[in-house]
Amino acid sequence: MEVIIQSSKQEACALGARWIARLLRQKPRAVLGLATGSTPVLLYKELIRLHREEGLDFSGVTTFNLDEYLGLAPEHPASYHHFMQENLFRHINIAPENTHIPDGQATDVPATCRAYEEKIQAAGGIDLQILGIGGDGHIGFNEPSSSLTSRTRIKSLTQRTRQDNAPFFEKPEDIPQHVITMGVGTIMDAREIVLLAFGQGKAAPISATVEGPITASVPASILQFHSKATLLLDEEAAGDLKRAEYYRWVHDNKPDWQKV
Protein backbone atom coordinates (compact mmCIF):
# COMPACT_ATOMS: atom_id res chain seq x y z
CA MET A 1 0.00 0.00 0.00
CA GLU A 2 1.28 3.45 -0.94
CA VAL A 3 0.05 6.57 0.85
CA ILE A 4 0.42 9.89 -1.01
CA ILE A 5 -0.43 13.06 0.91
CA GLN A 6 -1.18 16.19 -1.09
CA SER A 7 -1.79 19.71 0.16
CA SER A 8 -5.37 19.81 -1.17
CA LYS A 9 -8.04 17.61 -2.67
CA GLN A 10 -7.58 19.47 -5.95
CA GLU A 11 -3.95 18.38 -6.13
CA ALA A 12 -4.82 14.82 -5.11
CA CYS A 13 -7.51 14.60 -7.81
CA ALA A 14 -5.16 16.04 -10.44
CA LEU A 15 -2.64 13.33 -9.53
CA GLY A 16 -5.36 10.68 -9.71
CA ALA A 17 -6.40 11.90 -13.15
CA ARG A 18 -2.79 11.70 -14.37
CA TRP A 19 -2.67 8.15 -12.99
CA ILE A 20 -5.68 7.19 -15.09
CA ALA A 21 -4.40 9.07 -18.14
CA ARG A 22 -1.10 7.19 -17.99
CA LEU A 23 -2.99 3.90 -18.00
CA LEU A 24 -5.20 4.88 -20.94
CA ARG A 25 -2.20 5.99 -22.99
CA GLN A 26 -0.46 2.71 -22.29
CA LYS A 27 -3.61 0.61 -22.71
CA PRO A 28 -6.31 2.35 -24.79
CA ARG A 29 -8.77 -0.49 -24.19
CA ALA A 30 -8.40 -0.40 -20.42
CA VAL A 31 -11.19 -1.39 -18.02
CA LEU A 32 -11.89 1.14 -15.27
CA GLY A 33 -13.83 0.64 -12.06
CA LEU A 34 -15.60 3.87 -11.11
CA ALA A 35 -17.01 5.36 -7.92
CA THR A 36 -19.70 7.93 -7.22
CA GLY A 37 -20.44 10.46 -4.49
CA SER A 38 -18.79 13.80 -3.81
CA THR A 39 -15.23 12.46 -3.48
CA PRO A 40 -14.45 11.68 -7.16
CA VAL A 41 -16.21 14.72 -8.68
CA LEU A 42 -13.02 16.77 -8.99
CA LEU A 43 -11.21 13.74 -10.41
CA TYR A 44 -13.85 13.42 -13.13
CA LYS A 45 -13.66 17.16 -13.88
CA GLU A 46 -9.93 16.80 -14.42
CA LEU A 47 -10.43 13.78 -16.70
CA ILE A 48 -12.90 15.84 -18.74
CA ARG A 49 -10.34 18.64 -19.01
CA LEU A 50 -7.66 16.17 -20.12
CA HIS A 51 -10.05 14.83 -22.76
CA ARG A 52 -10.99 18.27 -24.08
CA GLU A 53 -7.61 19.98 -23.87
CA GLU A 54 -5.10 17.17 -24.28
CA GLY A 55 -7.06 14.64 -26.31
CA LEU A 56 -7.29 11.91 -23.67
CA ASP A 57 -9.16 9.18 -25.54
CA PHE A 58 -11.93 7.12 -23.93
CA SER A 59 -13.24 5.53 -27.14
CA GLY A 60 -11.85 2.08 -26.31
CA VAL A 61 -12.41 2.22 -22.55
CA THR A 62 -14.87 -0.01 -20.67
CA THR A 63 -16.18 1.00 -17.24
CA PHE A 64 -17.90 -0.76 -14.34
CA ASN A 65 -19.41 1.23 -11.50
CA LEU A 66 -19.24 0.02 -7.94
CA ASP A 67 -22.89 0.24 -7.04
CA GLU A 68 -26.44 1.50 -7.51
CA TYR A 69 -29.46 2.08 -5.29
CA LEU A 70 -32.19 -0.53 -5.55
CA GLY A 71 -35.51 0.93 -6.56
CA LEU A 72 -34.24 3.99 -8.43
CA ALA A 73 -34.79 4.43 -12.15
CA PRO A 74 -31.71 5.46 -14.19
CA GLU A 75 -33.18 8.92 -14.77
CA HIS A 76 -33.75 9.57 -11.04
CA PRO A 77 -31.54 12.55 -10.08
CA ALA A 78 -30.06 10.63 -7.13
CA SER A 79 -29.30 7.47 -9.12
CA TYR A 80 -25.72 6.65 -9.95
CA HIS A 81 -26.67 6.24 -13.61
CA HIS A 82 -27.65 9.92 -13.58
CA PHE A 83 -24.57 10.90 -11.56
CA MET A 84 -22.19 9.28 -14.02
CA GLN A 85 -23.89 10.81 -17.04
CA GLU A 86 -23.78 14.30 -15.57
CA ASN A 87 -20.31 14.13 -14.04
CA LEU A 88 -18.37 12.17 -16.66
CA PHE A 89 -19.90 10.11 -19.44
CA ARG A 90 -21.68 12.79 -21.48
CA HIS A 91 -18.54 14.95 -21.46
CA ILE A 92 -16.12 12.38 -22.93
CA ASN A 93 -16.01 10.14 -25.98
CA ILE A 94 -16.89 6.87 -24.26
CA ALA A 95 -19.23 4.44 -26.01
CA PRO A 96 -22.48 4.09 -24.01
CA GLU A 97 -22.48 0.33 -24.55
CA ASN A 98 -19.10 0.15 -22.79
CA THR A 99 -20.39 1.72 -19.55
CA HIS A 100 -21.83 -0.63 -16.95
CA ILE A 101 -23.73 0.25 -13.76
CA PRO A 102 -25.72 -2.25 -11.65
CA ASP A 103 -29.43 -2.34 -12.46
CA GLY A 104 -31.31 -0.55 -9.70
CA GLN A 105 -34.62 -1.84 -11.06
CA ALA A 106 -33.63 -5.50 -11.20
CA THR A 107 -36.44 -7.93 -10.45
CA ASP A 108 -34.12 -10.93 -10.02
CA VAL A 109 -31.36 -9.41 -7.92
CA PRO A 110 -29.18 -12.53 -7.46
CA ALA A 111 -29.20 -13.19 -11.23
CA THR A 112 -28.38 -9.54 -11.92
CA CYS A 113 -25.43 -9.70 -9.54
CA ARG A 114 -24.09 -12.90 -11.10
CA ALA A 115 -24.40 -11.34 -14.55
CA TYR A 116 -22.47 -8.26 -13.43
CA GLU A 117 -19.60 -10.41 -12.21
CA GLU A 118 -19.63 -12.32 -15.50
CA LYS A 119 -19.47 -9.07 -17.49
CA ILE A 120 -16.42 -7.94 -15.52
CA GLN A 121 -14.71 -11.25 -16.21
CA ALA A 122 -15.68 -11.17 -19.91
CA ALA A 123 -14.11 -7.72 -20.19
CA GLY A 124 -10.83 -9.13 -18.87
CA GLY A 125 -11.14 -7.84 -15.33
CA ILE A 126 -10.71 -4.32 -13.99
CA ASP A 127 -7.35 -2.68 -14.64
CA LEU A 128 -7.78 0.24 -12.23
CA GLN A 129 -10.48 0.69 -9.59
CA ILE A 130 -11.28 4.12 -8.16
CA LEU A 131 -12.59 4.10 -4.58
CA GLY A 132 -13.79 6.48 -1.92
CA ILE A 133 -14.15 5.52 1.72
CA GLY A 134 -17.04 5.90 4.13
CA GLY A 135 -16.74 7.43 7.58
CA ASP A 136 -16.99 3.91 9.02
CA GLY A 137 -14.39 2.48 6.63
CA HIS A 138 -16.71 1.01 4.03
CA ILE A 139 -15.72 0.73 0.36
CA GLY A 140 -18.40 0.51 -2.28
CA PHE A 141 -21.43 -0.15 -0.10
CA ASN A 142 -19.67 -2.92 1.80
CA GLU A 143 -20.65 -1.86 5.29
CA PRO A 144 -18.70 -2.94 8.42
CA SER A 145 -18.94 -6.72 8.96
CA SER A 146 -19.12 -7.35 5.21
CA SER A 147 -17.31 -10.48 4.09
CA LEU A 148 -13.82 -9.66 2.88
CA THR A 149 -14.25 -12.19 0.05
CA SER A 150 -17.74 -11.03 -0.98
CA ARG A 151 -18.89 -10.65 -4.59
CA THR A 152 -21.47 -8.36 -6.19
CA ARG A 153 -24.67 -8.62 -4.18
CA ILE A 154 -27.51 -6.80 -2.41
CA LYS A 155 -26.62 -4.93 0.78
CA SER A 156 -28.69 -3.14 3.41
CA LEU A 157 -27.45 0.34 4.24
CA THR A 158 -26.70 1.38 7.79
CA GLN A 159 -28.48 4.39 9.23
CA ARG A 160 -25.16 6.25 9.22
CA THR A 161 -24.68 5.68 5.50
CA ARG A 162 -28.27 6.68 4.77
CA GLN A 163 -27.77 9.88 6.76
CA ASP A 164 -24.52 10.59 4.90
CA ASN A 165 -26.42 10.29 1.60
CA ALA A 166 -29.42 12.36 2.74
CA PRO A 167 -28.30 15.56 0.92
CA PHE A 168 -28.95 13.81 -2.41
CA PHE A 169 -32.63 13.20 -1.60
CA GLU A 170 -35.56 15.54 -0.98
CA LYS A 171 -36.86 13.67 2.08
CA PRO A 172 -35.24 11.17 4.47
CA GLU A 173 -37.91 8.59 3.64
CA ASP A 174 -36.84 8.74 -0.02
CA ILE A 175 -33.41 7.29 0.73
CA PRO A 176 -33.30 3.66 -0.41
CA GLN A 177 -32.55 1.01 2.19
CA HIS A 178 -30.85 -1.39 -0.21
CA VAL A 179 -28.23 -1.28 -2.92
CA ILE A 180 -26.43 -3.55 -5.34
CA THR A 181 -22.69 -3.26 -4.78
CA MET A 182 -19.51 -4.91 -5.94
CA GLY A 183 -18.19 -7.08 -3.14
CA VAL A 184 -14.89 -6.63 -1.34
CA GLY A 185 -13.52 -9.64 -3.19
CA THR A 186 -14.60 -8.15 -6.51
CA ILE A 187 -12.83 -4.89 -5.67
CA MET A 188 -9.68 -6.73 -4.62
CA ASP A 189 -9.57 -8.49 -8.01
CA ALA A 190 -8.74 -5.18 -9.70
CA ARG A 191 -5.14 -5.08 -10.86
CA GLU A 192 -4.66 -1.62 -9.38
CA ILE A 193 -6.65 0.41 -6.85
CA VAL A 194 -6.62 4.17 -6.23
CA LEU A 195 -8.55 5.35 -3.17
CA LEU A 196 -9.36 9.03 -2.66
CA ALA A 197 -10.12 10.53 0.76
CA PHE A 198 -10.51 14.16 1.74
CA GLY A 199 -11.41 16.11 4.86
CA GLN A 200 -11.17 15.62 8.59
CA GLY A 201 -14.15 13.27 8.59
CA LYS A 202 -12.05 10.68 6.74
CA ALA A 203 -9.04 10.86 9.08
CA ALA A 204 -10.19 8.11 11.45
CA PRO A 205 -11.17 5.55 8.76
CA ILE A 206 -7.97 6.27 6.83
CA SER A 207 -5.86 5.70 9.94
CA ALA A 208 -7.69 2.44 10.61
CA THR A 209 -7.30 1.37 6.98
CA VAL A 210 -3.58 2.06 6.73
CA GLU A 211 -2.23 1.48 10.23
CA GLY A 212 -4.86 -0.64 11.96
CA PRO A 213 -5.52 -4.38 11.85
CA ILE A 214 -7.16 -6.00 8.86
CA THR A 215 -10.74 -6.52 9.93
CA ALA A 216 -14.23 -6.78 8.47
CA SER A 217 -15.15 -4.01 10.91
CA VAL A 218 -13.16 -1.69 8.62
CA PRO A 219 -13.65 -3.19 5.16
CA ALA A 220 -11.13 -0.83 3.55
CA SER A 221 -8.37 -2.33 5.72
CA ILE A 222 -8.29 -5.31 3.33
CA LEU A 223 -6.41 -3.01 0.93
CA GLN A 224 -3.31 -3.75 3.00
CA PHE A 225 -3.33 -7.11 1.22
CA HIS A 226 -3.53 -5.62 -2.29
CA SER A 227 -0.32 -5.66 -4.29
CA LYS A 228 -0.91 -2.26 -5.90
CA ALA A 229 -3.19 -0.03 -3.80
CA THR A 230 -2.54 3.72 -3.61
CA LEU A 231 -4.28 6.17 -1.28
CA LEU A 232 -4.45 9.81 -2.43
CA LEU A 233 -5.18 12.02 0.58
CA ASP A 234 -5.35 15.67 1.50
CA GLU A 235 -3.72 16.92 4.71
CA GLU A 236 -6.92 16.64 6.76
CA ALA A 237 -7.63 13.03 5.78
CA ALA A 238 -4.02 12.17 6.67
CA GLY A 239 -4.32 13.91 10.04
CA ASP A 240 -4.47 10.78 12.21
CA LEU A 241 -1.68 8.84 10.50
CA LYS A 242 1.18 8.11 12.88
CA ARG A 243 3.69 7.59 10.08
CA ALA A 244 2.61 10.51 7.88
CA GLU A 245 6.12 11.96 7.64
CA TYR A 246 7.47 8.63 6.45
CA TYR A 247 4.80 8.43 3.73
CA ARG A 248 5.72 11.94 2.60
CA TRP A 249 9.42 11.04 2.53
CA VAL A 250 8.78 7.93 0.43
CA HIS A 251 6.74 9.88 -2.11
CA ASP A 252 9.18 12.78 -2.31
CA ASN A 253 12.15 10.48 -2.85
CA LYS A 254 10.79 8.20 -5.54
CA PRO A 255 13.03 7.60 -8.54
CA ASP A 256 11.90 9.61 -11.58
CA TRP A 257 10.67 6.52 -13.43
CA GLN A 258 8.13 5.84 -10.65
CA LYS A 259 6.63 9.32 -10.65
CA VAL A 260 3.30 10.14 -12.31
Cα(186)–Cα(184) distance, integer angstroms: 5
Is 251 an annotated catalytic residue?
no
Could you confirm whether 103 is annotated as catalytic? no
Pairing of strands 178-181, 67-69: antiparallel
Task: Give dist(CA 160, CA 175) in Å, integer.
Answer: 12
Q: Is 256 a catalytic residue?
A: no
| Cα gap 34→51, rounded to integer Å | 17
Q: Chain-centre distance of CA 160, in angstroms?
A: 19
- Single out the catalytic residue among 46, 138, 164, 189: 138
CA-wise closest residue to 157 among 169, 165, 148: 165
Q: Which of the following is catalytic: 46, 51, 67, 226?
A: 67
CA distance 69 to 169: 12
Distances (CA, A) of 159 to 80, 162, 195: 20, 5, 23
For 117-164, list the strands marked E by DSSP.
Answer: 128-131, 153-156
Catalytic residue among 117, 127, 136, 234: 136
Active-site residue, selected from the candidate residues 68, 127, 143, 234:
143
Phi, psi of 89 (to 5 degrees): -60, -45
Residues with a known catalytic role? 67, 136, 138, 143
